[in-house]
Amino acid sequence: MKTKKLALFAAGLAAAAIGLRMVGCGSARSGRTTAAEKVYVAPGELDKYYAFLSGGQSGSVFVVGIPSCRILREIPIFEPRAAYGYAVHDGDPRRAELAATGGLWGDTHHPVLSEKNGVYDGRYLWINDLSNGRLGRVRLDTFETDRILKIPNLQGAHGIAAVSPDTKYIVVNGEFEQPTDGLVTNPAPYTSVVAFVDPEKMEVKFEVRVAGNIDIADTSKDGRYAFSTVYNLEQGKEQNSMMVFDRDAVAAIDIPAAEKAVAEGRGEIRNGIPILDPAEVPGIMTLIPVPKNPHGVNVTPDGKYVMASGKLSPTVTIIDTKTLKIVAEPEVGLGPLHTTFDDRGNAFTSLFLDSQVVKWNVQKAVKGAPDYIVDRINIHYNIGHLQAVGGETMHPYGDYLLALNKLSKDQYLPVGPDMPEAQELIDISGEKMRMLASFPTPPEPHDAVFIEAKILAPKVKQVFTPGPEAIAAGQESVVRTGPHEVTVKMTMTRSAYTPDHFEVREGDRVTFQLTNVETIRDMIHGFALPDHDLNVALPPGYTKTITVDAGKPGVYWYYCTNFCSALHLEMRGRMLVQPRDSNVAIPDWKAAQNVKGPVQGVPSTGAAR
Ligand SMILES: [Cu+2]
């Protein structure tokens, strides 16, 4: 008997050990509609929301339709992507920016959207690169990265937030502390900075020094405070020495007070940026003690409270945003990491260790009512971030919540040593949460932000007005502009390049000025040149100018990489590179336009004509 009981107990433990799958996967048919019906978007129908998922070590952002969970595209930010002709070639200004600011890779964690009057206006998305201390900006009318900013005096750009309600700044937290005096020979105590970035100009306006590691960021809804969780107030450099104190803190930076101090010249200028030290400028920062190693920090939609998730403590610390005093510290479960909100006064906190989302009522918790916990749902597994649609704005939608999970284990087919990472979509429209769907994405789902499709979709540009640099049909040419320089002015339309061939010499620098002269949407043409590390994509109306070395003598077929028509495969042309000392005459591409001209340093038997 005793043995049987032990066996049952062991079986129960085993079930718990493989996660909580048996509990979490029940009743897809509870409620009026099935879970499948809730996420089914019929072919030809459109999703209600865009979700922007950070790509983690992919250095990008993944765009997903919600509720269908269909991946719509990837926006490369910190890594070149040949598939989108992004930063592939030296002539692409994004590639030059990436190379100059830390490298052709990144680690994106926290996407934030531009706001107007406390709601998303669909202009920009910003995301951090933790690894190289950068901030990337994506234009949401084109879904393209338009700026990369290296943040001076800061390492480990981690938590970021838009300053509500009108995106006055993007706040960027430096997680990896640095010697305060900037030296390594006789290092001073290590500190970090919070950077305040002008979102339009993409330049740092000022920084505030914090004695500790600055983690996640959010801002008050009135623009007064930037809140950050801070750990390692001990300023230790190894883990043991970081775990001495009983509590760490939420830092509340008073933005107007900091701006005034900067205007009065009270900042130390380093690398052109004023750095304010709260020890020398009292009143610009308040440290609010919270349980050790807090993680997420989130402001309620009504702006009344900011809450820090305990991580090591099973509590969420609720702080009044006016008085900066702690008003409650409710227990929610093991490993609370982040909190998001619906439109009915409820908070949802991710529990990393419990692998759960817990729903709880904010006012009941503040009042100390015992029944503040509303519901719990099992997650598969070890949830990190979570986001409810609109949960970061003043007007949450209260319908869907995305759980971004660190481990998926038994949820998908094995794909090598690395299991797919996953998200789970949860229906939060009712009193009880309901699991709807899970879907994997390439590494690594970390955080997400949503915008309603009807706000953004009408603003997305698909056909562009040709700029002054555009080449019009009939204006194509191949012209020698110097002894070793050739400019090729080329147009592309279904299904041909004009010119479809031209000749240059070994040693030439060839500048392509490429215009896609199409005028209808989704008629993108690519221009790939084998063995020249070159692939660009051009939407209708776009012009791109790129210079390459002609390379070794030979015939190089440039071809279209973006499927465009039944004759897509035939959309190609030849660049013929004559040997440097060739005595073969280079023929004119067109009688009026040619590659004639003196070629210095070429033997008399050479190709100069
Ligand atoms: Cu094409």
- Residues 38-75 pLDDT 10s: 999 999 999 999 999 999 999 999 999 999 999 999 99
What is the rounded CA–CA span in Å between residue 443 and residue 434?
A: 26
Q: Is the pLDDT of residue 2 over 70?
A: no
Per-residue pLDDT, averaged over 187-212, amounts to: 95
CA of 572 from ligand 1 middle (Å) equals 9
Residue 184: the pLDDT is 83
Residue 107: the pLDDT is 96
What is the rounded CA–CA span in Å between residue 544 and residue 135?
A: 25
Strand, helix or coil for residue 262: helix
Residue 180: CB atoms within 10 A of its CB come to: 19
CA distances from 398 to 226, 347, 402 (A): 25, 11, 12
CA of 313 from ligand 1 middle (Å) equals 57
Burial of 273 (0-12, 13-18, 19+ CB in 10 A): buried
What is the rounded CA–CA span in Å between residue 185 and residue 158?
A: 27
CA of 457 from ligand 1 middle (Å) equals 25
Q: Is the pLDDT of residue 594 over 60?
A: no
Q: Which amino acid would we find at residue 473?
A: A
Per-residue pLDDT, averaged over 342-348, amounts to: 98
Residue 588: the pLDDT is 59
Residues with CB under 5 A from ligand 1 (ion): 525, 560, 564, 571
Residue 590: the pLDDT is 58
Q: Is the pLDDT of residue 396 over 50?
A: yes
Per-residue pLDDT, averaged over 455-464, amounts to: 95
Residue 28 CA from chain centroid, whole number: 32
Per-residue pLDDT, averaged over 161-189, amounts to: 91
Residue 70: how many CA atoms within 13 Å on its side-chain side?
14
Element (H, E) at 256: helix 255-263
Percent of the chain at pLDDT exceeding 90: 81
From 82-91, 418-427, 557-566, the region with the lowest mean pLDDT: 82-91
What is the rounded CA–CA span in Å between residue 177 and residue 190?
A: 5
Per-residue pLDDT, averaged over 521-528, amounts to: 95
Q: Is the pLDDT of residue 572 over 80?
A: yes
Q: Which residue has the tokens 């202009």?
A: 123
More reliable by pLDDT, 609 or 362: 362
CA of 104 from ligand 1 middle (Å) equals 28
Tens of pLDDT along 482-492? 889 999 999 99
CA of 593 from ligand 1 middle (Å) equals 25
Residue 487: the pLDDT is 94
Residue 419: the pLDDT is 84
What is the rounded CA–CA span in Å between residue 600 and residue 607?
A: 11
From 306-320, 324-338, 571-585, the region with the lowest mean pLDDT: 571-585
Global confidence as pTM: 0.90
Order of all β-strands in the sheet with 297-299 = 297-299, 305-309, 316-320, 326-328
Name the residue among 129, 127, 123 with its Cα closest to residue 112: 127
What is the rounded CA–CA span in Å between residue 227 and residue 514?
A: 47
CA of 497 from ligand 1 middle (Å) equals 9
CA distances from 261 to 133, 207, 285 (A): 25, 11, 12
CA distances from 217 to 23, 111, 206, 329 (A): 34, 12, 16, 19
CA of 496 from ligand 1 middle (Å) equals 7
From 182-186, 348-352, 390-394, 560-564, the region with the lowest mean pLDDT: 182-186
What is the rounded CA–CA span in Å between residue 504 and residue 492?
A: 20
Instruction: DSSP letter for 472, please.
Output: P
Q: Is the pLDDT of residue 442 over 90?
A: no
CA of 557 from ligand 1 middle (Å) equals 14
More reliable by pLDDT, 605 or 311: 311
More reliable by pLDDT, 269 or 15: 269
Q: Is the pLDDT of residue 28 over 50?
A: no
Per-residue pLDDT, averaged over 120-146, amounts to: 97
Contact between 352 and 383 under an 8 Å Cβ cutoff? The reply is yes
CA of 525 from ligand 1 middle (Å) equals 4
CA of 142 from ligand 1 middle (Å) equals 20
* Pairing label, strands 501-505, 572-578: parallel
More reliable by pLDDT, 313 or 584: 313
Q: Is the pLDDT of residue 319 over 80?
A: yes
CA of 570 from ligand 1 middle (Å) equals 9
CB contact burial 155-169 (16+ within 10 A = b; e otherwise): bbbbbbbbbbbebbb
Tens of pLDDT along 203-227? 999 999 999 999 999 999 999 999 9
Contact between 350 and 337 under an 8 Å Cβ cutoff? The reply is yes
Percent of the chain at pLDDT exceeding 70: 91
Contact between 211 and 190 under an 8 Å Cβ cutoff? The reply is no
CB neighbours of 37 closer than 8 A, spacing ≥ 6?
none
Average pLDDT, the chain: 90
Residue 589: the pLDDT is 59
CA of 571 from ligand 1 middle (Å) equals 6
CA of 402 from ligand 1 middle (Å) equals 37
Confidence of residue 237 (pLDDT cuts 50, 70, 90): confident
Q: Which amino acid would we find at residue 161?
A: A
From 81-95, 295-309, 462-476, 506-520, the region with the lowest mean pLDDT: 81-95
CA of 537 from ligand 1 middle (Å) equals 10
Confidence of residue 606 (pLDDT cuts 50, 70, 90): very low
| DSSP string covering 370-429 | TT-EEEEEE-SS-EEEEEETTTTSSS---SEEEEEES--GGGS---SSSPPEEEEEEE-S
- What the block records as the tokens of 557 is 């077929």
Residue 50: the pLDDT is 98
Q: Is the peptide bond before 200 cis (omega within 30 degrees of 0)?
A: no
CA of 144 from ligand 1 middle (Å) equals 20
What is the rounded CA–CA span in Å between residue 304 and residue 320?
A: 6
Q: Is the pLDDT of residue 331 over 50?
A: yes
CA of 456 from ligand 1 middle (Å) equals 27
Residue 603: the pLDDT is 37
Q: Which residue has the tokens 């990837």?
A: 74
Residue 9: the pLDDT is 41
Contact between 427 and 415 under an 8 Å Cβ cutoff? The reply is no
Confidence of residue 585 (pLDDT cuts 50, 70, 90): low
Strand, helix or coil for residue 589: coil
Q: Helix %, strand %, coil % for the chain, to 5?
A: 10, 45, 45
Q: Which residue has the tokens 């392509």?
A: 512
